[in-house]
Chain A
Amino acid sequence: MSVILAGFRQARHSNVWIFGTMLFSACLSLLASFVLSIDAVRLAADPDTALSCNINSVISCGAVATSWQAGLFGFPNAFLGLVAEPVVITIAVASLGGVRFPRWFMFAAQVVYTLGVIFAYWLFYQSIAHIGALCPWCLLVTVSTTLVFTTLTHVNIRDGNLPVPARLRSTLKSAIEADLDAIAVTIWLLLLALLVVTKYGSQLFG
């Protein structure tokens, strides 16, 4: 048992595991962005749909789908996923194939993706606090961007790609060796699940 556990803890830091997880999560995120984009385009193309509540709409009635939160930058948010996730997929596939990207490249990816995660969580907060609708595809975006972010951070700490002081670097490294990152992400995702279940449980199971 402990041998298996030790083996898994070793494998967790391997390229195959890290970039494999990244690839899988980025694909899920791309799929969700795609579905949400189609919904946004359909809504924009048909003014009647925009002025009514559609049973097939994944988010809500036009009133919310056309709210300022839904197009913060002047176009549907989901388009950002269509632009960004293929880059992540490329990085993951190339890395699985043995490509080593320069430090500055991985650091830039980390910075940009961190902004993306912040945006995803802002949207999650908006939908929970103000829009109120349970939107499975939006939840999928939240979860999968979280997974991409953690795998990217994992690999950047492992390879020392982040320009941080040496002491912090070694602290981060040892934290990852102790699997604290995996524990933190698990707690985080379970917290999200608890939040969704308590808020929408009667709807999901009632």
Chain B
Amino acid sequence: MGKQARDRSRDLRKAQTAIAEQRGKRRPLVVGGITVIVVLLVAIVVAVVNAVGDRDPATSSGALVAPKSATAAGALVLGQAAAPVRLEVYLDYMCPFCGRFEQANSGELDKLMADGTVRLELYPLSFLDRMSEGSRYSTRAANAVATVADRAPEKAAAFNEALFDNQPQEGTEGLSNARIAELAQQAGVPQDVVDVLDDHIFEPWIAKSTEAVFDTGISSTPTVKINGEVFKGDLYTVGALTQAVIAAKGQQ
């Protein structure tokens, strides 16, 4: 073996030892890393199991009960049943634009209901549950309104407005059940009704009517229909809807 070849093979051995040494130094890191991976996997499994366990029996398997004043299509009826103009409002309590719609029109709608012009049909939907960090605010709020419409129907309009006046920002957990109860109290809902607001009574009904509504082709909130026709005018300025309602009344 020539000197050059010997040198080369010595260099090679040296390099291999260096790599082996570095590998040895890295070993604790590798072992530590794999331990962390195992711990994380366990944590994820635990979190998933917890999430599945959190499933509220009242919401997933509760009996389907419809509020007394509800229509077959899934609406809560407010105002006089015999009023000439039927106004349907599709909303979600988490939907910011529904809040703007209410701000612009709730005063007018109150007047139109009071003088017997309008029969208001509210469709409280729950599709924005995905927007409340898992707290299902849309369902909770809709269930509370359905409960009030069922047990204290004359207070439902005021409670509906109160929820929009205090509307949480999209993407937050929404109002707590306690805060919802407080708003109901302030809107004049009797205490025995306030006490059952978080009993999930109408949650299965909300889920079913949300599905039914979307099956009819409604794809966004707020959607407003006057005597069955979608209102295409300005929903966010005071007066536009009122004029359309009065025009519809005149046609009859």
Contact = CB atoms under 8 A, between A and B. Distances in A.
| A and B bind | yes
A174 B22 CA distance: 7
Interface residues of B, number: 49
B127 interface: yes
Contacts of A56: 219
Given A54-B220, A180-B29, A194-B47, A63 B96 contact: yes
B19 A177 contact: yes
A206 B57 CA distance: 10
6 closest A-B pairs by beta carbon, nearest first, are: A201-B51, A132-B171, A183-B33, A178-B26, A190-B40, A52-B220
B51 to A, nearest CB: 3
A199 B251 CA distance: 53
Most buried by A among B92, B96, B172: B96
Interface in A21-66: 48-49, 51-56, 60-64
B220 A55 contact: yes
B209 interface: no
A180 B36 CA distance: 13
A94 interface: no
Contact of B33 (A54, A184, A191): A184
B130 A193 contact: no
Contact of B134 (A53, A177, A191, A203): A203
A205 B133 contact: no
A53 B41 CA distance: 36
Interface in A165-206: 174-175, 177-180, 183-184, 186-187, 190-191, 193-194, 197-206
B197 to A, nearest CB: 20
B50 interface: yes
Contacts of B220: 48-49, 52-55
B72 to A, nearest CB: 21
Contacts of B74: none
A130 interface: yes
B48 A177 contact: no
Given A49-B220, A133-B130, A178-B26, 16 more contacts: A51-B97, A53-B220, A60-B171, A61-B97, A62-B96, A132-B133, A174-B22, A178-B27, A180-B30, A183-B29, A183-B33, A183-B37, A187-B37, A197-B44, A201-B51, A205-B51
A140 interface: no
A133 B131 contact: yes
B56 A206 contact: yes
A134 interface: yes
